[in-house]
Amino acid sequence: MPKKAKGRRGLLVVISGPSGVGKSTVVRKLLTLSPKLKMSLSATTRPPRPNEKHKQDYLFLTQEDFFDRANKGEFIEWAQVHGHYYGTPKSYVEEELSKNHVVVCEVDIQGAASIKEMVHSGKLKSATVFIFLIPPSVDILAFRLRRRKTEDEEMVNYRLRAAIAELQVMEKYDYIVVNDKVDSAAEKIAAIVNVEKERVYLN
Ligand code: 5GP
């Protein structure tokens, strides 16, 4: 009988998609549906938005601190996104995966590509699943980016152009989930995670 997840530990769920698609909101809902999931807390050099808290939404770091950590290899992946740096701290993810837990990380498409490369090169031994969240339409994405009022119009247009370019990579993912309604998108991801936990790995 094939052993489940032979030689691998845990499951890393990588959620990506264009900025403004509602990844954070969907992930928050997902954590209420599946409270056993472990959420990776990213580090960023972006200044906090109103209502964002250090160690709750992000580890808000200075650029110096961020690069100090990056140079020490403390991030699984890091990338520059819209003029700021973002990274996934390695220690938390590795520790939770070693306990055979399911860890969720929300990254941009560069971060997802870096993690995929680690899987292919054998640097990451855990099972992984790559999920791409898309907006129902570009108009709705534009509406959502403007509604959150955290970026000026120039930045909204910049993020929209980036989002349209980012949509081109979606076929590289294992699953595409349309974020039409937060609840149903989160339910779909919870179902994907439940199925992926049962996958048999033969290598
Ligand atoms: P925001 O500034 O809107 O919070 O995030 C901007 C983008 O950075 C989003 O696409 C978000 O998914 C991405 N992001 C957040 N954390 C990370 C991370 O740790 N690594 C990478 N590569 N991207 C991240």
Is residue 106, in this structure, part of any structural domain at all?
yes
- Ligand 1 test: best mutation among 39, 81, 156, most atoms within 8 Å of CB? 81
Is residue 1, in this structure, part of any structural domain at all?
no
β partners of residue 80: 85
145 within ligand 1 shell (Cβ under 6 A): no
Is residue 21, in this structure, part of any structural domain at all?
yes
88 within ligand 1 shell (Cβ under 6 A): yes
SS3 for 116-142 is HHHHHCCCCCCEEEEEEEECCCHHHHH
113 within ligand 1 shell (Cβ under 6 A): no
- More reliable by pLDDT, 2 or 90: 90
Enter the tokens of residue 148.
């959150």
45 within ligand 1 shell (Cβ under 6 A): no
Secondary structure of residue 167 in the 3-state scheme: helix
Determine how many CB atoms are found less than 10 A away from the CB of residue 11.
21
The model's confidence at residue 150, banded by pLDDT at 50, 70 and 90, is: confident
Is residue 45, in this structure, part of any structural domain at all?
yes
Query: For residue 6, what pLDDT is reported?
Result: 52
Angle at 68 between CA 60 and CA 43, to 5 degrees: 25
How far apart CA 13 and CA 57 sit, in angstroms, is: 18
Is residue 25, in this structure, part of any structural domain at all?
yes
For residue 68, the enclosing domain spans 11-201
pLDDT tens-digit profile of 31-71? 999 999 999 999 999 999 999 999 999 999 999 999 999 99
pLDDT higher than threshold 90 for residue 152: no
- More reliable by pLDDT, 154 or 150: 154
- Ligand 1 test: best mutation among 15, 74, 86, most atoms within 8 Å of CB? 86
> Which protein residue has the closest C-alpha to ligand 1 atom 15?
107
| Cα 22 to ligand 1 centre (Å) | 12
pLDDT tens-digit profile of 7-17? 557 999 999 99
| Cα 196 to ligand 1 centre (Å) | 24
Number of domains in the chain: 1
- Ligand 1 test: best mutation among 61, 108, 161, most atoms within 8 Å of CB? 108
Is residue 56, in this structure, part of any structural domain at all?
yes
Is residue 3, in this structure, part of any structural domain at all?
no
Where residue 58 sits, what CATH number does that domain have? 3.40.50.300
β partners of residue 85: 80
| Cα 33 to ligand 1 centre (Å) | 22
Burial of 197 (0-12, 13-18, 19+ CB in 10 A): middle
Query: For residue 85, what pLDDT is reported?
Result: 98
> Which protein residue has the closest C-alpha to ligand 1 atom 6?
19
Is residue 4, in this structure, part of any structural domain at all?
no
pTM of the model: 0.90
66-85: average pLDDT: 97
Determine how many CB atoms are found less than 10 A away from the CB of residue 26.
26
pLDDT tens-digit profile of 93-135? 999 999 999 999 999 999 999 999 999 999 998 999 999 999 8
> Which positions ≥6 away from 83 have C-beta within 8 Å?
none
Query: For residue 202, what pLDDT is reported?
Result: 59
170-196: average pLDDT: 95
The model's confidence at residue 5, banded by pLDDT at 50, 70 and 90, is: very low
69-86: average pLDDT: 96
Q: In what order do the strands lie in the sheet with 84-89?
A: 59-60, 43-44, 84-89, 75-81
